[in-house]
Amino acid sequence: MFGNDFSLSLSLFVAQGRERQTADFYKSVFGAEETNSYEMLHLMMIELQLGPIGLVVCGSDPKRERAPSYQGPFHPKTDGAVSAMFQLTVPDVEAVVDAAFDAGGMLRDNIQTDLQGRQVATIFDPAGHAWVLIEAEPRNGSAA
């Protein structure tokens, strides 16, 4: 229907006050570029570009969460308590996991090798969102 004539942006909600920390994580770990930031209704919004995908880090309004007429979206209350995981293909899973640790992220489980010989891992960013990392090429240049 749209062909290649569209763009996609994802809004990721974080606890109010953690917007900058989360955006800085995406910049230092994934190489995202900040394109804009602003405050709206007492909440910080930080626009980033991660390859072809736009990310908007949004503060989650605690007053809105207490209003029964609003059903979300809200920020993760615990690591991984989310309805979606983001899958990211990277050149080197170990390097991204190391960078994530340095920037305040957490490893969900051990780095593993998938059936195609690629390293895979899942990390949590500082806001609790889950990111599945898949190495672009199998180790040793061949599938397992």
- What letter would DSSP give residue 99? H
pLDDT at 60: 86
User: Yes or no: is domain 8-141 CATH 3.40.50.10310?
Assistant: no
- Contacts with 128 (C-beta within 8 Å, 6 or more apart), sequence order: 75, 76, 77, 78, 79, 80, 81, 82
Place of tokens 């080197």: 92
pLDDT at 43: 80
pLDDT by 10s per residue, the chain, length 144: 667 778 889 999 999 999 999 999 999 999 999 999 998 777 899 999 999 999 999 998 887 777 767 777 778 888 888 888 999 999 999 999 999 999 999 999 899 999 999 999 999 999 999 999 999 988 775 554
pLDDT at 68: 66
Task: Decide: 75 and 29 in contact? Cβ < 8 Å.
Answer: no
- Contacts with 3 (C-beta within 8 Å, 6 or more apart), sequence order: none
pLDDT at 41: 74
62: left (phi over 0), alpha (psi -120 to 50) or beta: alpha
Q: How far apart are CA 10 and CA 12, in angstroms?
A: 6
- Contacts with 110 (C-beta within 8 Å, 6 or more apart), sequence order: 121
pLDDT at 113: 95
What ranges do the domains of the chain cover? 8-141
Record the tokens describing residue 48, joined without a space.
Answer: 């980033």
pLDDT at 144: 46
Q: What do you get for the CA distance between the two ends of the chain, in Å?
A: 38
